[in-house]
Chains A and B, each alone.
Chain A
Amino acid sequence: VSGRHSYGKYNDWDKIVSWTEKMVAKHPEMVSRIKIGSTVEDNPLYVLKVGRKGKERKAIFIDCGIHAREWVSPAFCQWFVYQATKSYGKNRIMTKLLDRMTFYVLPVVNVDGYIWSWTQNRMWRKNRSKNQNSTCIGTDLNRNFDVSWDSSPNTNDPCQEVYRGPAPESEKETKAVTNFIRSHLNSIKAYITFHSYSQMLLFPYGYTSKLPPNHSDLLKVARIATDFLSSRYETHYIYGPIASTIYPTSGSSLDWAYDLGIKHTFAFELRDKGKFGFLLPESRIKPTCKETMLSVKFIAKYILKNTS
């Protein structure tokens, strides 16, 4: 894959790293890069801290690329940082958000898996850690969080695509994310994670059909957020609690963040609904990102206004 970084194309890991450096160099007053850890294969895990520099403010943690083959997810994180920095001072809402909030954006969580999906196996999902007593590689990072981690009997086979790992937070990538969020918990008011595909906006819980105490609040935010999303190209998203909207899942980042105390956590399952699946053509990246941006800006505005 030739050429340089482009928001309208899929970028391999090297391009994304150089893009992070470029964003910091271009917007030093708005963007800084934090290395929050490294992966099993010693690739760096970078978070971009986006927002006007100054005293600590309410923050939202956004991550992309937990599952390697879901390429449109990292594309959205790059787009978000680009749009935020580009529209600061021009777009009233974004300017207000960046003046009063901080966004921690982790463009790719599963770096090793993402690289593998570029170089070896486009259909790869898990990370690339080796499993004891098994020739099967990888853990599903979204089953590795310490929340109802071992409640599903079906996630303890290393050869499964949804293998939860040998222990909660066993993976360096998971540990890096959880350590960072725990150490910034007093400011982080929302957690938003991006996956694909199937066009859904999901919120807790996945590990139980029980509804969280602020279910009606989450439902309202998701309803309006999906309305904003569909306002651009009429892309229809369904929304609801994970367990009843799709199926029960254990060990997910969403539930973990919620039970840690972040009471507004959402998971986007981006385009499409299966015509292309994980192979969304590049020509659809920008419309996907533009419509999702409307949704995320609404959620951020809501968090700014409605959290203490």
Chain B
Amino acid sequence: TAPVRFDREKIFRVTPVDEKEARVLKDLAQIIELDFWYPDATHDVAANMTVDFRVSEKESQTIQSTLEQHKMNYEILIHDLQEEIEKQFDVKDE
């Protein structure tokens, strides 16, 4: 079967400033499939922790609007994961 593709999937970075914001992330993880890059899992998310997670293009809008609605700071580390996957092979064969 063809490999999974990650076209326009995004990696978000959020640093919840308190337990309330950490709770927002945990609640989002209940309704949207988030692949946590750091920490390893939802239950490890805590206040003042840098949290990186992957989300599909479709769901990224919901993520962004929810974070903005809660006035939570965030950045998008990777805008198109599939592109990064292909770019990691940046050394020519010796």
Contacts and interface: CB of A to CB of B under 8 A. Distances in A.
B90 A277 contact: no
A8 interface: yes
A120 interface: yes
A161 interface: yes
A123 B54 contact: yes
B4 A120 contact: yes
Contacts of B43: 152, 154
Given A123-B35, A161-B41, A8 B85 contact: no
A122 B89 contact: no
Interface string A282-295: 11010000000000
Nearest to B43: A154
B40 interface: yes
Contacts of B77: 274-275, 277
Contacts of B41: 154-155, 160-162
Interface in B13-45: 13, 35-44
A167 interface: no
Sorting the interface of chain A by its residue count into under 10, 10 to 19, 20 to 34 or 35 or more gives 35 or more
B68 interface: no
A281 interface: yes
Contacts of B84: 276, 279
Contacts of A32: none
Contact of A6 (B36, B37, B50, B93): B93
B40 A161 contact: yes
A95 interface: no
Contacts of B89: 1, 9-10, 282
A150 to B, nearest CB: 15
Contact of B6 (A8, A122, A276, A282): A122
Contacts of A281: 87-88, 90-91
A120 B5 CA distance: 9
A278 interface: yes
Contact of B38 (A9, A119, A120, A198): A198
A9 B4 contact: no
B63 interface: no
A197 interface: yes
Given A282-B89, A283-B90, A122 B3 contact: yes
A247 interface: yes
A222 interface: no
A121 interface: yes
Contacts of A132: none
Nearest to B11: A277
A64 to B, nearest CB: 17
A1 B42 CA distance: 34
Q: Which of B42, B50, B88 has the most CB of A within 10 A?
A: B88
Q: Which of B41, B42, B46, B77 has the most CB of A within 10 A?
A: B41
A161 B36 contact: yes
B88 A276 contact: yes
Contacts of A198: 38
Given A160-B41, A247-B44, A275-B77, A119 B94 contact: no
A2 interface: yes
A224 interface: no
A160 B42 CA distance: 9
Cβ-closest 8 pairs across A and B: A3-B93, A282-B91, A154-B43, A247-B44, A121-B4, A162-B41, A279-B88, A281-B90
